[in-house]
């Protein structure tokens, strides 16, 4: 999913490499699978929780935005839990989840991204939208739909909304 050209040139977003022992790697993967998350999403959630518990490491605005981000992802996890329980979703599920956020949680989404939900070029919005796509895929244990094995992913488009494109998903045989 992207709301612009997909590039994140903002210095406020950095990527870290972690070196985990095999037992820790296995534990992270197991815990992530139990929560229907990617290991990356699990680690980010754990770091966010740890940082939010500490006083004096964030400005008030940063704390509000990160708290909103945590709440947004919890709402998404609830939506995905319901979709798993009802087993009602198709290749456009990512669009459906984003539309639910737009309809039911727009103020929370805007606080999390720190801006107008319909404005393109916001790197935080782009990062969060990518995380939403990853959470939907992992949360439903889906696979990316492609035209052929190893081919490019099939994309859907949205004319008016929080996102402009999304990756179509298959039900996985996991």
Instruction: Measure the CA–CA gap between 64 and 33, rounded to whole angstroms.
Output: 29
**Model pTM score:** 0.82
What residues are paired with 128 via a beta bridge?
none
One digit per residue, the tens of pLDDT, for the chain of length 174 reads: 544 444 444 456 678 888 999 999 999 999 998 988 889 889 988 998 899 999 899 999 999 999 999 999 999 999 999 999 998 899 999 999 999 999 999 999 999 999 999 998 999 999 999 999 999 999 999 999 888 788 899 999 999 899 999 999 998 765
Show Cβ contacts of residue 55 under 8 Å, excluding neighbours closer than 6 positions.
none
The gap from C-alpha 146 to its chain's centroid, in whole angstroms, comes to 20
* 1 touches 163 (CB < 8 A): yes
* 71 touches 147 (CB < 8 A): no
């Amino acid at each position: 999913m992207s709301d612009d050209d997909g590039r994140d040139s903002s210095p406020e977003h950095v990527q870290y490499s972690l070196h985990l022992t095999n037992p820790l790697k296995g534990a992270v993967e197991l815990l992530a699978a139990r929560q229907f998350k990617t290991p990356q999403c699990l680690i980010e959630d754990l770091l966010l929780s740890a940082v939010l518990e500490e006083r004096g490491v964030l400005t008030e605005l940063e704390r509000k935005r990160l708290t909103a981000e945590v709440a947004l992802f919890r709402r998404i996890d609830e939506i995905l839990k319901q979709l798993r329980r009802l087993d009602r979703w198709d290749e456009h599920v990512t669009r459906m989840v984003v539309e639910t956020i737009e309809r039911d949680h727009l103020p929370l989404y805007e606080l999390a991204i720190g801006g107008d939900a319909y404005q393109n070029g916001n790197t935080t919005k782009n990062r969060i939208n990518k995380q939403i796509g990853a959470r939907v895929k992992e949360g439903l244990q889906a696979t990316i739909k492609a035209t052929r094995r190893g081919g490019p992913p099939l994309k859907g488009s949205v004319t008016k909304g929080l996102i402009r494109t999304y990756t179509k998903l298959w039900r996985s045989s996991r």
